[in-house]
Structure 1
Amino acid sequence: MPLARLCFAIVLLGLLAGCGRFSDAEPDSTLGHAAGGKLTVGIRFDQPGLSERTVDGRFTGFDVDVARFVAGELGVPPDGITWRETTSATRESDLTSGVVDLIVATYSVTDRRKQQVSFAGPYFDTGQDLLVRRPSNDISGPETLNGRKLCSVAGSTPAQQVRTRFAQAVKLIEYPRYPDCVTALLAGQVDAVTTDAVILAGYVAQNPELLRLVGKPFSTERYGVGLRKGDTEAQTAVNDAIRKMISTGAWRSSLDRNIGPSGYQLPAPPEVTER
């Protein structure tokens, strides 16, 4: 075979192999859907800087960028992604029922959750903090919340952690969404809102004259990409995609663009450790 024809054949075989990277995956699995150019991704619709649906129907934020990058590495173009809203209370059921293929929604990796789902990543590290009204300085940490009203969302763990570890007499208030908690805080109906600092930073950016972060994180939260339990092939592929997003600089670029304006101190990239 002439050299030119041999080179062409080698290149063609390489392209075919790349196109069929996930072609042997189960049709109803995450990689099986990706092989067909489609994925349904669970995200939050109401977290500024992280994952938000704008008034004109666009999806923006760091989590959205992570989801798009991962999908692209799995062979799914942006127009092949179906965005589905997920909440703290429904993330596990959304995955186990097959409503979504994966979740990128400030989803902290915990041993309890890993009994029901699998994770790839982590792709971001943060810590739990408190959001309070300006100019008040009487709340300086979770231990100062006894007798006060603390808001968080149903199905999330931060408020319970405050009661268990720091302030047994705190009064817990739950709403379906974080914006509801922020509205209650601005109206004086609660004294503080708690969740991860990077989530709260988005609301500070929206109301810098009225709100502030206490700025003393009291937990470690590792955000992972949620997958169906035992889906090791998808876990490996998503881990590879996260590593590539970090190594190419796309990870940092997205954070600078989406979170940087809030003034939140951006962390170093995490080590991808989930197996």
Structure 2
Amino acid sequence: MTQRTTMRRWLRKGLAALCALACAAGVAACGSGGSDDGDVIKVGIKFDQPGLGFKKSGTYEGFDVDVARYIANQLGYTDSQIVFKEAPSKQREAMLQNGDVDMILATYSITDERKKAVDFAGPYFVAGQDLMVRANDDSIKGPQDLNGKRLCSVTGSTSAKVVKDRFAKEVQLMEQPGYAECATALLSGIVDAVTTDDIILAGLASASRGKLKVVGKPFTEEYYGVGIKKDAGSKEFATKINAAIEEMEKTGEWERAIENATEGTGYRPNPKYNPPKPDEGE
């Protein structure tokens, strides 16, 4: 074996070992990242909320998804560089703190308590707690009509508590693990109404194909923000995200995203608060 052949084999082995080490460290030149350089942005969304964040046959759709894509594109990422991850409500702060995602758009209301753990950009939408009923039911026109009625909300949600504390102390509460289960209970007549944020209800009503409707009398304000990790660079990151949100609103893409998400429901966001100016919820 010549010295030149030995050198070539040594170089090949060395390069293979280096590439293996790089792949283990997440360098996408050796992997299957969304682009040649592997530069991706990881975004937390809901997978089970029609009209907002919904995973369907390996694709993702909904208003939160559309806003996330727009922001990512404005930050310089192509659609193929966006990695969507499921962000259940109870895990959102931990996912940001652990670096599992770069930002979260998952009906994530900005609150003082949450701002102790994470930072926010936005808001990009202001929702209001509302009610959803069967399309042929005109007996419930607001939360004050719920006394003696059966109401469904998600286990651990504060929505039902707001109704009981402020409007209808005699309401019968049924809790389910998710709003899809509440919608099923409503369709089958087990409950008379479902309560949560109006845009979540609008997405469910849209998926029902005309069998359910949103009452349209919101009685709270929920400022949806883009959750980001609280660190030294979060202020600069939030500024860039806010610029993207403002651009989306100016171009009309924000309004089109709302219309696509709630098509057929007659839903319109409260014009008193929408579209919001970023930093309003801070």
Is the shorter-chain TM-score for this pair beyond 0.5, marking a shared fold? yes
Deviation of 1:187 after TM superposition, in Å, equals 1.8
Partner residue of 1:240 out of 226, 240, 243 = 243
Deviation of 1:117 after TM superposition, in Å, equals 1.9
Identify which range, 250-259 or 115-124, moves more after superposition.
Answer: 250-259
2:19 equivalent to 1:38: no
Q: Residue 90 of structure 1 aligns to a residue in which SS?
A: helix
Return the TM-score normalized by structure 2: 0.77
Cα distance in 1 for residues equivalent to 2:208 and 2:74: 36
Specify the alignment match of 1:94 in structure 2. Answer: 95
Higher alpha-carbon Rg: 2
Q: Name the aligned partner's letter for residue 49 of structure 1.
A: G
Deviation of 1:168 after TM superposition, in Å, equals 2.8
Deviation of 1:140 after TM superposition, in Å, equals 2.4
Runs of 4+ in 1 over 4 A off after TM superposition: none
Partner residue of 1:49 out of 31, 48, 51 = 51
Cα distance in 2 for residues equivalent to 1:237 and 1:168: 45
Specify the alignment match of 2:277 in structure 1. Answer: 271
Q: Name the aligned partner's letter for residue 76 of structure 2.
A: G
Task: Write out per-residue CA displacement over residues 159-216 of structure 1, whole angstroms, 9 at most, x where no aligned residue.
Answer: 2221222223333333222111111111222221111111111222222442122221
Return the TM-score normalized by structure 1: 0.79
Q: Could you say what the CA RMSD is over the residues aligned between the two structures, in angstroms? A: 2.3
Partner residue of 1:258 out of 257, 261, 265 = 261
C-alpha contact 2:104 2:226 (8 A) present in aligned 1: yes
Question: Number of residues paired by the alignment?
Answer: 241
Instruction: Identify unmatched segments of 5+ residues in structure 1.
Output: 1-34
C-alpha contact 1:89 1:156 (8 A) present in aligned 2: no
Q: Residue 107 of structure 1 aligns to a residue in which SS?
A: coil
Instruction: Identify unmatched segments of 5+ residues in structure 2.
Output: 1-36
Specify the alignment match of 1:8 in structure 2. Answer: none
Cα distance in 1 for residues equivalent to 2:206 and 2:97: 35
Q: Kindly tell me: are residues 36 and 237 of structure 1, through their superposed partners in 2, closer, same or farther at Cα, counting changes over 3 Å? A: farther
Cα distance in 2 for residues equivalent to 1:71 and 1:174: 36
Identify which range, 244-253 or 126-135, moves more after superposition.
Answer: 244-253
Q: Kindly tell me: are residues 87 and 105 of structure 1, through their superposed partners in 2, closer, same or farther at Cα, counting changes over 3 Å? A: same
Specify the alignment match of 1:184 in structure 2. Answer: 185
Cα distance in 2 for residues equivalent to 1:265 and 1:254: 12
Q: Taking every aligned residue pair, what percent have the same amino acid on both sides?
A: 50
Specify the alignment match of 1:114 in structure 2. Answer: 115
Q: Kindly tell me: are residues 92 and 157 of structure 1, through their superposed partners in 2, closer, same or farther at Cα, counting changes over 3 Å? A: farther
